[in-house]
Amino acid sequence: MWEKPDTGDSEVADAFDDFLEDYPEYHKTAILDELREKEYSRLDKGRHIYLDYTGGGIYSDSQIRDHMSFLLENVLGNPHSSNPTSAYSTKKIDKCRARVLDYFNAPKDEYVLIFTSNASQALKLVGEAYPFEEGDQLLLSFDNHNSVLGIREFDRVRGASTRYVPVMPPDLRISRGILEKYLDEGASSKNRLFAYPAQSNFSGTQHPLEWIGLAQSKGWDVLLDAAAFVPTNRLDLGRFKPDYVAISFYKIFGFPTGVGCLIARREALEKLHRPWFAGGTITVASVQADLYYLAPGAEGFEDGTLDYANLPAVGRGLDYIESIGLETIHLRVECLSDWLIKRLLELRHGNGKPLIRLYGPVERGARGGTVTINFYDKEGAVFSHDLVEKRANLWKISLRTGCFCNPGAGELALGLSKDEMITCMATSENRMTIEEFRQCIDGKSTGAVRVSVGIASNFRDVFVFLKFASLFRED
């Protein structure tokens, strides 16, 4: 039963015809089908159903070929020198830096770009250097990645406080009125940092970018986690102007995987005070004098040697996305995810009870291409997400299960109360395995199943997943 069957072309074709009747605008994304064949043929050759774009993007064949040619035809050196190979690397890094700022329409007189290994490092740079003091505040949405939540450990040791704005099931949205209440309550603090995701990596919920200006008007600095948002949505930093933005490039175009960035307003960057220095971040350092002078601007935050052999691939990746059109990618993702959500919610057991529970918005246009669900049997008991993943593996479906490094959204979506979590976490002093955690919460789900579509997704991908999901129905 769980061995992957051949999904006949006629079966897919008939369903696709019905799909096009409901989504005629999908025709505008035909270029992506051409690219699927030309640039991502390895997916179909390997019979892969890749549905983990929120976890990581897929690189195109031409990106790798072009970058390989660049590496074979040039000699690159460590940029921290003026010799010819170092100077050439520096030139390419500067070109890439300018290209990224241009892509996000970030005014160069207002914003500076710091290259990092990923979005997590970008977030850590802000957290460790933000000038928290006694009485200051860090405001987080419940719906945040662990790499954002971890900033609380920096403010905690400096006497600042952390508060959380709740998200409301089932859409997992934040009420603007409640948010304003939390923002107003921080008026007496000297330093205030508000951090939230433009798009939830848990549910795909998109939180309004208008909150940036709202928070700033009330005296808050704003840290925007844009990692899940920018692969399929336009972030215009000429219009919306957060103080800090964290991004991972592999989420957008798959390669390189070890490069991200922090885009910061120049004024906001001056506010940060780094707790240490490293190679590449200083102008002068002395052992005997026990002093150092941090380099100005981005250099003072770029620890060690940048990934100069791969950074030029970032500019090529952005060129590739723009050659397709981000709006085209967005439209395809919107159509496929909307169709999948509607069809999943139609699945019923023989007794009429629903098979699927969705976490996040149902309506189109209020979400990204991330679809997070759990499967329930006919008696209403949840199927283990581990079981779902094991069965999906047999179909060569790449999806993701767990809480996706977003415990706040997960706890609220799965109905885990504060008292339950405190009691459970207190049972272990130093370490807790996921198995121990599952036993502790006694039968409740510890996670969910996440599928996500992206640049190389097509109708067949979501159709096969729907067929897979339907096999969990019971008579």
Lowest mean pLDDT among 259-268, 272-281, 391-400: 272-281
390: phi then psi, degrees, rounded to nearest 5: -60, -40
**3-state DSSP helix/strand/coil percent for the chain, to nearest 5?**
40, 15, 40
Lowest mean pLDDT among 1-15, 20-34, 272-286: 1-15
Please say if 405 is a catalytic residue.
yes
Q: pLDDT band at 427, cuts 50/70/90? A: low
Residue-level pLDDT at 1: 57
Which residues partner with 245 through β-bridges? 224, 263
User: CA-based angle 179:181:186, to the nearest 5?
Assistant: 100
> In angstroms, what CA-CA distances link 313 with 29, 144, 236, 303, 322?
25, 29, 22, 20, 14
If we measure between CA atoms, which residue out of 258, 264, 261, 229 comes closest to residue 244? 264
25: phi then psi, degrees, rounded to nearest 5: -65, -15
Catalytic, out of 335, 403, 405, 440: 405
Residue-level pLDDT at 162: 96
**Predicted confidence (pLDDT) at residue 432 exceeds the cutoff of 60:** no
Residue-level pLDDT at 419: 58
What the block records as the tokens of 315 is 């500019």
- Grouping H, G, I as helix, E, B as strand and the rest as coil, residue 141 is strand
- HEC profile of 197-236: ECECCCCCEECCCHHHHHHHHCCCEEEEECCCCCCCCCCC
Q: pLDDT band at 111, cuts 50/70/90? A: very high
> In angstroms, what CA-CA distances link 118 with 93, 261, 444?
16, 7, 33
Q: Say which amino acid occupies 335.
A: C
Look-up: residue for tokens 């219009």? 239
Q: pLDDT band at 435, cuts 50/70/90? A: low
Question: Which of 133-163 are b and which e, b meaning 16 or more Cβ less than 10 Å from the residue's Cβ?
Answer: eeebbbbbbbbbbebbbebbebbeeeebbbe
**Percentage of the chain lying above the pLDDT 70 cut:** 91
Q: How many CB atoms are closer than 10 A to CB 196?
A: 25
Residue-level pLDDT at 316: 97
Average pLDDT, the chain: 92
**Predicted confidence (pLDDT) at residue 440 exceeds the cutoff of 80:** no
**Predicted confidence (pLDDT) at residue 417 exceeds the cutoff of 80:** no
Taking only the tens place, the pLDDT of each residue in 392-404 is 999 999 999 988 8
**Predicted confidence (pLDDT) at residue 442 exceeds the cutoff of 90:** no
Residue-level pLDDT at 320: 98
Given a contact cutoff of 8 angstroms between Cβ atoms, the answer to whether 198 and 370 are in contact is no
Q: What is the pTM of this model?
A: 0.93
**Percentage of the chain lying above the pLDDT 90 cut:** 85
Q: Residue 32: CB partners within 8 Å, gap ≥ 6?
A: 324, 328, 329, 332, 455, 456, 458
Taking only the tens place, the pLDDT of each residue in 136-171 is 999 999 999 999 999 999 999 999 999 999 998 889
**Predicted confidence (pLDDT) at residue 328 exceeds the cutoff of 90:** yes
Lowest mean pLDDT among 72-86, 276-290, 326-340: 276-290
Whole-angstrom distance, CA of residue 54 vs CA of residue 50? 11
What mean pLDDT comes out for the span 112-130? 97
**Predicted confidence (pLDDT) at residue 444 exceeds the cutoff of 60:** no
Given a contact cutoff of 8 angstroms between Cβ atoms, the answer to whether 89 and 79 are in contact is yes
Alpha helices in 160-305 (DSSP H): 176-184, 210-217, 250-253, 266-271
Lowest mean pLDDT among 150-159, 313-322, 331-340: 150-159
Residue-level pLDDT at 164: 96
